[in-house]
Structure 1
Amino acid sequence: MASGLAERESQWDTLDRLAGLARAGKGQVALISGPVATGKTTLLQLFGEHLETSGFTWRRAIGAESEEALPYGVTTQLLGPVDPDHGLPELCRAALGSDEPVLITVDDVQHADEPSLEVLLACVRRLAGARALIVLTDNAAPGPLHTELLRHRHSTRLAVAPLSETAVGDPEAFALTGGNPLLLAALGEDAGEPGPNYRQALLSCVHRCGPEQARIAAVLGDSPGETPLLTAAGLLADGRFRHPAARAAVLAEMTPGERTGLFAWAARLRHEQGADPVVVAELLTGADRADEPWAGAVLVEAAEQAVQRERIEDAVRYLELARTTAEGAARSAIVARLARIEWRIRPAAANRHLAELITADLDDRDSISLVRLLLWYGRSDEAVPVLERVRASGPAGLHALELWLAANHPRLARPGTPPHAGDDTPGAVAADRSTAAILAVLGRSAAEPAVAEAELMLQVARPSDSLVWGAEAALQALLALLYADRLDQARSWCDKLLAEPGSVPEQAYLTAVRGEMALRRGELAAAWDDATAALELVPPAGWGVAAGLPLACAIVAATRMGRIDDAARLLAEPVPDAMLQSRWGVHYLHARGEHYLATGRDYAALADFLSCGKLTAEWGMDVPGLVPWRTSAADAWLRKSENRAEVRRLLNEQLARVGPGPSRTRGAALRLLAATSQAHSRPQLLAEAVSILRDCGDRFELARALADLSRAYRGVGQLRRASPMARLAAGIVEECGAAILHDEVLPLRTGHDAAGEPDTRQRLATLTESEMRVAVQAAAGLTNREIAAKLHITASTVEQHLTRVYRKLHVTRRRDLPPELHSHLPLAA
């Protein structure tokens, strides 16, 4: 038997047996039936070649649908030119007569013309005593030929089916082809993935089965009724095409008119059957028509469901189509809905819908949404009249809007809005409570409950179909943690949310917040990467007034890294004027001021810092967690070496506001306060600043404080204490990439630059970890009680450790502790 005929052994053996009978003068006829492209032709070809080599005369023909009307077309292929006047007996003698046994094969006999079928049946009736074997193939569809053959005892029926999964040997290949040999071969040519050869082979099968049912199955997504030929050929599984590429190939072959008509018919069918609105909407979008009276309502309902399933792109497609035929208030409602949800995936594009909505007759829900969108894009002049109409109607969602205004656009908010949920819809409550948490942190009310509330909202905030959406609720909650200086908690939540699937804008907003967290830790490269990535995901035009957050982060990071040109380029980026009257604008103003300060424009910097103070005071948001404008303004005054009294006032006021607890702002304020103090007082203030900044994790400010501490030690003649501080500061500067501090820090690395004398290093190596931690804190100037509280041990334990430390280091008192201990500060938390 020829190779390449897996699972065709029994058919081959049967044909071989029939050939033996035919050779002996007992003529036979065999009909091989099976679905298209299942190997019938291959079997016929190989068997014909086999008999031809064994002495048979092989007469062959192939039926074609295009030649069904051609009289004697098949007969001509078998015998050559035919005279229609010759009778059937003479034609049969010509076909069956030969000195050698005869093999007559007709592939796809179902397409044979009527006269040729009569000739074939006449030959079948004359097989008795003939040395002939007739082998026919068809697609298994019942017809007159089958009925006629059943009457003859010398006829044999053979069935051919697609290959089994065992024969295929590859479960994935079987799943894609159903064992259809033609599809299998094409899949192999495409390296195992459906490609052009697979699609071409499938279309060949479809045309041989009749394309109409395949097209209906492709449009509907499954088969609406009996499709025996498609299923038997392995093209469909459970009424569906086995791979999207197959369905796409069938749809692509149709003309636009055919597709439109078929999709429209399918949409009507499914609607009448009561199908899910999303199913009907997909068919309507396939037809690109919504002219049926029921179509608009179905599309809107489908959009609602798509949003709930977080399929926002689908919702946009449905509403875009619904808008094409809607009119009046119905159209306005659709456009408002479209703008609201498109903002979630393409913020810049949503702006195009707003002009139509400003003069439209909207319900309260859509009017509130319009106010928020107009303000997002900095269109405050157009937002104010809409806001007044909303306030006049007093809708249920007004409290949430007022709360959002108070947190983001304070000048437009009504004073005295109570910070609690006023809307009982789940999405609104989540955003309302997140916004309330921000206001609590910025208003210097109970910060701890606000932090707990923000974390709770981060657990439940997900995209939702309310006036606001889960990503904004999450963004507000993260900012509440950021403003409360809970950087570790905020970073953990941010990373968790970024690991979840989300739209591009959601990823951009979270990435921008993560960049701001990195900036506040002095991780300049990470801050730059995140801020610029956020601006690439959503360009500034899409950010609207909120562009102040990523722009500010990128400007400060670039400035501190010495990338002054990059910072200047970002400052040249156009932003809405309304941004500077929003909370986002405070971030931007402060960043611009820092850039001015770094480039020698001290008075311009001071003006921006004081503007931040004026705005935040006016809004009731004057807390350093938003922007530390007082320390920045003090720094600007100090650069001019003037107005020391004002500097001290600002710094003392800042220290009073942050309280005695450790915070980044307190550390920075102490560093600057030391600059206004007497030389002998500076080391103690700076040592406290270093300790605080080390604990808070702000590497940039820590480097500045260490550099100032080194200078302070030099100023009082303690050179051995100065050098380790300088080395540590320089190391942090290099690690952070803070090029702006190079000129300030690197020159300090002079004098005692060795890492301690050998004897000192050896003695330090004898300290245990616990002794080292206590020694480091003592060298930093902390009292025994303060060390005990910091390390969570008793004062007695501190005394015991210090006694052993003194003995090992050969010193008798605290002031003689070696300055090299300061280089271990980051490890002694």
Structure 2
Amino acid sequence: MLHTVTPPAQHANHRPSGVLPGRERELDAVKALLSPHTAPSTAVLVRGNAGSGKSALLRAVVEEVREEGDTVVSASGDAMESGFAFGVVRQLFEHLVLDEEEGTATSPLSGRAGVAASLLTGSGPERSHGVPYADGQDDELLRGLYWLVVNLAAKGRLLLVVEDLQWADRDSLRWLHFLLRRMANLPVVVLASLGPEAAGDGADTAGAVAQLFRHQLTLRPLDEGAVTAVAAHVLGTEVSPSFAAACRTATGGNLFLLNSLLRALRSAGAPFDARTAGELTRHTPAGVGRAVHGLIRNCGSDALAVAQALVVLDGSADTVLLAGVAALTEGGAQDAVRGLVRAGLMTCTDEEVAFVSPLLASAFAEEVAPSRRQELHARAARLMLAQDAPLESAAAHLRRAPVGVPGAADVLQAAAALAREDSRHGDAVALFRRALREKLDDGSRATALIGLGRTELTFDLSDAINHLQRGLELSRDTAERADAARALSRALCTLDRYSEALAVLRSTSAELRPLDPVQALGLEVDFLYGSVSLPGSAASVRSRLQELRLSDAGQSGAVHPLAALLSLRALMAGEEPEQVVSMARLALDHGMRPDEESTVYLGAIIALGAAGEAELGFSYANAAVDEARTRGSALAYAYAVSARAAMRIRLGQVRECRADAQATLEALGEIGVDRANARSVAAAGALVDALTKQGELEEAAQLEQRWLTGDLQGHWINDHVLLSRGRLRLAQGHVREALADFLLCGHRTTARGLAGAGVLAWRSEAALAHAALGEHEAALTLAREEVSLARQWGVRASEGIALRALGLVTGGAEGLTTLHSAVELLEGTTAKYDYARAAADLGARAREAGDLARARTHLQQAVSVAHEIGATVVAEGALAELRALGDRPRSPAFRGVDALTPTERRVADLAAQGMTNRAIAGHLFVGLRTVEVHLTSVYRKLGINGRPGLAEALTRAI
């Protein structure tokens, strides 16, 4: 009766003894069966897939159970030698017979055993493979071999070990069948292994022999506990459960693959952590591919074709597609798959065929020649196109197929466009580049170049400019040319190549005007917006700017960009703030980037801020930041977050402005925009502004010396930089230099038609600098002019800012009254920093005038608001005034959660959620080193040693 052996249960924490790591349970089970005290004779068959550890188990068993006096003979089947008659038997006994002939045997062989010996050594009659011995010699040989075993067993227990029984020759299998039926009560142990590869003529015989083994043990894939034990043994260190689980998934629990993988990791010096666990198939061990290739080849030529086809189909496919790619009939492919499944190399369900493990698939993939891969990819692509498969599926194969597959260019471009829409920028670039290798007409090549360039805007501006220029030259489609010109000008502007950008917009608009007036108008809007931003070209376009009407766009898509430009024009002309806001809302009602490449919508955000609607502008910019992050575009993110930073300045959100300015610099750096670039300088200016307000003058000064030197380029985004630099210099005591910055800011804004008080309050800052220098009349003139312009404009925050400066310059009782008016106007507005500053000034002047009650009220308000927004200088100044009143207020916190910058808090929150440093870097569009620096600062401020205490430290603040 056949008995299936069940290994004993193993505790999860069991560790290998060093004998056979991973197979200790099976080893113990077989040892128990083969113990001399169990039975005089027994037969144990170990089954398992290739690489499951059958041979290692047999050798370990023999080493453990053999005793002094035991005779051990062993042999192994081989697919290449399965045609040799009695090949396995010869391996078992030939050396014993030769010992007898040479006189070294302990007892001579005679009778039937001697006959068998003479036949094995060739001294008796021979026969060719497939031809029986004459006159009953087969039967005589089988009997003689049996008596040979009896003779050997008479000297002590005999252990017959046969590995890979499935490849044994037919004659040896017949002999083994004969022996197993007659060996009862003999001190003989037969230990054999059988793989699942048995097929062809010997399959039935091997199966019949297998049934005669009394005990059978099937080696299953290693469980996670066994994998952990093997890993600890090979690597010499404990590994985490997650790492062990990843190893088991990669290898399918196959002992050979697992050992090979672990040795490869050890040799490569790879860390045994989560990152390595996620990339295990990159460490395919040398030699494994050849071994797998040999196993597959043994299953037949069709099996090799199927496996190669499965490689190019990414390791899994249905049988119909597999057959087509392998160029086999469906039935032939199914037969080959059955053989591969039987060999333990693949799995097959009703839905798909797959390799049994990722590592096996990657190892075999390395054995498929590149030319063969290309051929199979081309075949797969043609099949998918004929079956109307999804474009992305066919394109994935066309990317790897030779050039010239019919219809390849169209499919590749269509798939690239879909990838771009889905923000899979890497895939889109690869597909566009592959399409450009095909033979294309000018129109198709232009489309591919422009698509490639627009995609590259997200991460490589230089390449994007090159491809967009070439595509624009080739294209004859008006909408495509307009998109290309707009995208090209945006990239050029980002790199400060303004004259080139304006030339592209102007010339393309002129060329399209007779063909497509709507597209031409959209480009003209961008041209006018770019011209207004530069002092050298602003005057030249002013008349054209005044001619434009919203009706010029009709019902076309040009309405939104035109409205954005007209909101800016209304601001320049000093029209009612409501009109400015109305146009800006119309421009932005589909978001900040409805045309994707146009930057004119930034003008609408600026107009909203100047018109007292900074919160509304912030909401549009904030939505654009989220959209850019979702799309994975670092350039779009940089533009959006810089616009948000500008609104944060208006709203007085000092901490958050600092974070956004840093984020802008980091995002621009990711796409190669250097620090001399105007957009980098503008972001640095916003950062300097925040640092100055927080009293971090040394850090602000370092930034200023690195980024903000000289007169700065004349683009209007540098106007606020001049204001920021002037404030820093004023805080440093460099009053004359500060005044020069304020006046240069005023000169530039006035020259481009933005002289109103709502855009930049440069007059107020210059008035205070004049006053500090003792130039009282000049200070009063500028302060009064600012108040007058602010009242004409009609925005409370602008008037309050102007009145604060006038009150400080005027001084005395009149000045105190003016300051009080400034605070009343600013209270309740969104300009929190300006309110806190005015309240602190009013409190200080009230204390000097002896109005202590009013002083205390306003100083306390100033401390509260300034601390809330992170305006450290204002908060500390107001606290000092309160102490001068005799109060003992609590100081703001400079350690703990409140001390974290917005960026540090954002990084800390993501880390507390379990995101890796690399994932955080991708989410925030920053470098890995930046994340590490932020987390180090977080740990220091929170007084913790690392991530384990992070979530709790952040929770304590809630």
| TM-score past 0.5 threshold | yes
Kept after mapping to 1: 8 A contact 2:289/2:366: no
- Displacement of 1:302: 0.9
- Displacement of 1:602: 5.2
Q: Does residue 637 of structure 2 align to residue 501 of structure 1?
A: no
- Displacement of 1:754: 0.4
Q: Does residue 353 of structure 2 align to residue 219 of structure 1?
A: no
Query: Structure 1 residues 380, 166: closer, same or farther in 2, change over 3 A?
Result: closer
Distance in 1 (alpha carbons) for counterparts of 2:80 and 2:649: 74
Kept after mapping to 2: 8 A contact 1:682/1:709: no
Q: Does residue 283 of structure 2 align to residue 148 of structure 1?
A: no
Query: Structure 1 residues 141, 245: closer, same or farther in 2, change over 3 A?
Result: closer
Q: Does residue 475 of structure 2 align to residue 340 of structure 1?
A: no
The more displaced of 434-443 and 209-218 is 434-443
Distance in 1 (alpha carbons) for counterparts of 2:566 and 2:360: 53
Kept after mapping to 2: 8 A contact 1:559/1:567: no
Distance in 2 (alpha carbons) for counterparts of 1:670 and 1:399: 42
Q: Does residue 885 of structure 2 align to residue 753 of structure 1?
A: yes
Distance in 2 (alpha carbons) for counterparts of 1:272 and 1:146: 40
- Displacement of 1:195: 6.4
- In structure 2, what is the equivalent of residue 306 of structure 1? 419
- In structure 2, what is the equivalent of residue 60 of structure 1? 74
Query: Structure 1 residues 421, 109: closer, same or farther in 2, change over 3 A?
Result: farther
Query: Structure 1 residues 478, 249: closer, same or farther in 2, change over 3 A?
Result: farther
User: Which of residues 672, 695, 705 in structure 2 aligns to 1:568?
Assistant: 705
User: Which of residues 804, 810, 814 in structure 2 aligns to 1:681?
Assistant: 814
Query: Structure 1 residues 315, 694: closer, same or farther in 2, change over 3 A?
Result: same
Distance in 2 (alpha carbons) for counterparts of 1:304 and 1:313: 12
- In structure 1, what is the equivalent of residue 499 of structure 2? 380
Q: Deviations over 1:562-600 (max 9, x none)?
A: 32331232124998x6xx35x535444554565676642
Distance in 2 (alpha carbons) for counterparts of 1:528 and 1:61: 76
- In structure 2, what is the equivalent of residue 394 of structure 1? 516
Kept after mapping to 1: 8 A contact 2:846/2:854: yes
SS of the residue 1:106 aligns to = strand
Distance in 2 (alpha carbons) for counterparts of 1:161 and 1:423: 77
Kept after mapping to 1: 8 A contact 2:510/2:520: no
- Displacement of 1:535: 1.1
- In structure 2, what is the equivalent of residue 520 of structure 1? 650
Amino acid aligned to 1:532: Q
- In structure 2, what is the equivalent of residue 653 of structure 1? 788
Kept after mapping to 1: 8 A contact 2:164/2:195: yes
SS of the residue 2:648 aligns to = helix
- In structure 2, what is the equivalent of residue 106 of structure 1? 162
Query: Structure 1 residues 508, 195: closer, same or farther in 2, change over 3 A?
Result: closer
User: Which of residues 740, 757, 762 in structure 2 aligns to 1:604?
Assistant: 740
Q: Deviations over 1:99-132 (max 9, x none)?
A: 25644333224445xxx55334344346553456
User: Which of residues 658, 662, 667 in structure 1 aligns to 2:796?
Assistant: 662
Query: Structure 1 residues 548, 50: closer, same or farther in 2, change over 3 A?
Result: closer
Aligned length: 733
Distance in 2 (alpha carbons) for counterparts of 1:607 and 1:706: 26
Query: Structure 1 residues 283, 185: closer, same or farther in 2, change over 3 A?
Result: same
Q: Does residue 689 of structure 2 align to residue 556 of structure 1?
A: yes
Query: Structure 1 residues 570, 356: closer, same or farther in 2, change over 3 A?
Result: same
Distance in 2 (alpha carbons) for counterparts of 1:567 and 1:154: 86
- Displacement of 1:671: 0.9
Amino acid aligned to 2:410: A
Query: Structure 1 residues 274, 731: closer, same or farther in 2, change over 3 A?
Result: closer
Q: Deviations over 1:268-311 (max 9, x none)?
A: 45445443222233234345x54434322221111011122221
Query: Structure 1 residues 32, 335: closer, same or farther in 2, change over 3 A?
Result: same
Kept after mapping to 2: 8 A contact 1:180/1:234: no
Distance in 2 (alpha carbons) for counterparts of 1:176 and 1:476: 54
Q: Deviations over 1:754-788 (max 9, x none)?
A: 0299xxxxxxxxxxxxxxxxxxxxxxxxxxxxxxx
Q: Counterparts in 2 of 1:110-509, with a 5 A limit?
A: 110-112=166-168, 116-125=169-178, 128-130=181-183, 131=186, 133=190, 135-149=192-206, 155=212, 160=218, 162=220, 178=252, 180=254, 193=277, 199-200=284-285, 206-207=292-293, 209-210=295-296, 212=304, 213-221=306-314, 222-223=316-317, 224=322, 226=334, 227-228=337-338, 233=344, 238-240=352-354, 247-252=361-366, 259-260=373-374, 262-286=376-400, 289-327=402-440, 328-347=442-461, 349-357=463-471, 359-376=473-490, 377=492, 378-381=497-500, 382-383=503-504, 384-410=506-532, 411=538, 414-415=544-545, 416-419=547-550, 444-447=577-580, 449=582, 456-458=589-591, 468=597, 481-489=608-616, 491=618, 501-503=630-632, 504-509=634-639
User: Which of residues 661, 666, 672 in structure 2 aligns to 1:531?
Assistant: 661
SS of the residue 1:344 aligns to = coil
Q: Deviations over 1:469-528 (max 9, x none)?
A: 8xx799777656544444445556656665663423344334323333333344445433
Query: Structure 1 residues 151, 320: closer, same or farther in 2, change over 3 A?
Result: closer
- In structure 2, what is the equivalent of residue 793 of structure 1? none
SS of the residue 2:431 aligns to = helix
Query: Structure 1 residues 78, 334: closer, same or farther in 2, change over 3 A?
Result: same
Distance in 2 (alpha carbons) for counterparts of 1:635 and 1:143: 99
SS of the residue 1:705 aligns to = helix
- Displacement of 1:689: 1.5
Q: Does residue 760 of structure 2 align to residue 627 of structure 1?
A: yes
- In structure 2, what is the equivalent of residue 35 of structure 1? 49
Query: Structure 1 residues 141, 75: closer, same or farther in 2, change over 3 A?
Result: closer
> Unpaired segments of 5 or more residues in structure 2?
11-21, 96-119, 127-137, 228-240, 264-271, 298-303, 324-333, 533-537, 890-958
Kept after mapping to 2: 8 A contact 1:231/1:239: no
SS of the residue 1:501 aligns to = helix
Amino acid aligned to 2:399: T
Query: Structure 1 residues 718, 397: closer, same or farther in 2, change over 3 A?
Result: same
Distance in 2 (alpha carbons) for counterparts of 1:96 and 1:236: 42
Query: Structure 1 residues 684, 151: closer, same or farther in 2, change over 3 A?
Result: closer
- Aligned residues: CA RMSD: 5.3
Kept after mapping to 1: 8 A contact 2:685/2:720: yes
SS of the residue 1:320 aligns to = helix
- In structure 2, what is the equivalent of residue 815 of structure 1? none
- Displacement of 1:318: 0.9
Distance in 2 (alpha carbons) for counterparts of 1:347 and 1:202: 43
Query: Structure 1 residues 517, 67: closer, same or farther in 2, change over 3 A?
Result: farther
- Displacement of 1:706: 3.8
Distance in 2 (alpha carbons) for counterparts of 1:337 and 1:153: 64
Kept after mapping to 1: 8 A contact 2:166/2:196: yes
Kept after mapping to 2: 8 A contact 1:348/1:542: no
Amino acid aligned to 2:415: A
Distance in 2 (alpha carbons) for counterparts of 1:454 and 1:161: 70
Query: Structure 1 residues 630, 207: closer, same or farther in 2, change over 3 A?
Result: same
Query: Structure 1 residues 167, 723: closer, same or farther in 2, change over 3 A?
Result: closer
Distance in 2 (alpha carbons) for counterparts of 1:711 and 1:134: 99
